[in-house]
Amino acid sequence: MESTDFHSLHAMLEWQVDLGATEAISDTPVNRYEVPKTAPKPAAAAAPLAIAPVAKVEIDTVAEAAMAANAATDLTQLQAALSDFDHCELKRGARNLVFADGHAGARVMIIGEAPGRDEDQQGKPFVGAAGQLLDKMFAAIDLDRGAQTQDSGLYITNVLPWRPPQNRDPKPAEIAMMLPFVERHVQLAKPDLLICMGNIACQALLGKTGITRLRGTWVEAMGKPVMPMFHPAYLLRNPAAKREAWADLLDIKAKLRGT
């Protein structure tokens, strides 16, 4: 019987290596190509990493507008604040910011609705056909946007400083966003009287619409007497309404004399 102690086995292994053996072969053959009868279960896929949704931060555009407007201490700074204000989508489709025209400091300040095509191109309010009619209307009571005196000058702006697409009416959200700038504009310009030209201006300053009912009656807004009037564009379409507009102009002239 062969010895199976360690030293004997070690000597036998060394003898096999000396003979050139490089592999150990078992007593029974192994089929390396045999397919196992039961396929191994695939490892469970790792659960995807849950990513918490990023909450969208809502910006209070009216508060942002109020902060920017109230920081302006003069009209130059207010115009710059409007130019830098990026929360109004109208800015992206407009050519120019339409801030104001006329004599800042005039007793009468006209607030229109929004720029049209001509105003957008020139960067000034009321320069198209409606603007030409407006100039003639106020020239009849000795007021002129080109005059550089407080008593005979006019100061003109709009509720919206950028042209709405296809001259559509301003949306309530756009009016609300721009209203802090309008309020600050009035505070800095310091007119004696305000003229609301058309329904949109009445909606912004008075919170009311229905210019046919509102026109011709003095009201108060932003601490100033306000006269609602037909928009010159409306008068171009409805010449018969010029009689009421003339009555309103005479009322404005009388108000200026009384104050």
pLDDT-derived band of residue 3, with 50, 70 and 90 as boundaries? Answer: low
pLDDT of amino acid 24: 65
Distance CA 256, CA 106 (A): 11
Radius of gyration of the chain from its Cα atoms, rounded to whole angstroms: 41
**Whether pLDDT at 149 is above 70:** yes
Distance CA 108, CA 102 (A): 10
Average pLDDT (176-202) is: 97
Using pLDDT thresholds of 50, 70 and 90, give the confidence band for residue 137: very high
- Residue 31 belongs to some domain of the structure: no
DSSP-assigned letter for residue 113: S
Model confidence at 2: pLDDT above 80: no
Among 176, 182, 162, 158, CA closest to 86: 162
Q: Is 66 exposed, middle or buried (0-12, 13-18, 19+ CB in 10 A)?
A: middle
What mean pLDDT comes out for the span 213-224?
A: 96
Residue pair 219/134 in contact (Cβ under 8 Å)? The answer is no
Q: Does the pLDDT of residue 107 top 60, yes or no?
A: yes
Instruction: Report pTM.
Output: 0.77
Q: Does any domain span residue 127?
A: yes
Distance CA 155, CA 106 (A): 6
The verdict on residue 236 lying in a domain is yes
- Which is higher by pLDDT, 4 or 103? 103
| Count: domains in the chain | 1
For residues 137 and 151, what is the distance between their CA atoms, to the nearest angstrom? 16
- Characterize the bridge pairing of strands 219-221 and 224-229: antiparallel
Averaged pLDDT, 210-236: 97
- Give domain status of residue 145, yes or no: yes
Using 50, 70 and 90 to split pLDDT, how confident is the model at 32? low
| Domain extent at residue 200 | 63-258
pLDDT digits 0-9 by tens, 55-97: 666 889 999 999 999 999 999 999 999 999 999 999 999 999 9
Whether residue 157 lies inside any domain: the answer is yes
The pLDDT value given to residue 37: 64
Asked, for residue 169, whether it belongs to a domain, the answer is: yes
Which residues are CB-contacts of 204 (< 8 A; sequence separation ≥ 6)?
A: 111, 159, 175, 178, 179, 182
Q: How sure is the predictor about 236, in pLDDT bands with cuts at 50, 70 and 90?
A: very high
d(CA 62, CA 179): 8
**101 lies in some domain:** yes
Any domain includes 76: yes
Mean pLDDT of the chain: 90
Element (H, E) at 12: helix 6-18
CATH code for position 236: 3.40.470.10
* pLDDT grade for 1, boundaries at 50, 70 and 90: very low
Instruction: Give phi and psi for 178, each to the nearest 5.
Output: -90, -15
153 forms bridges with which residues in the sheet? 144
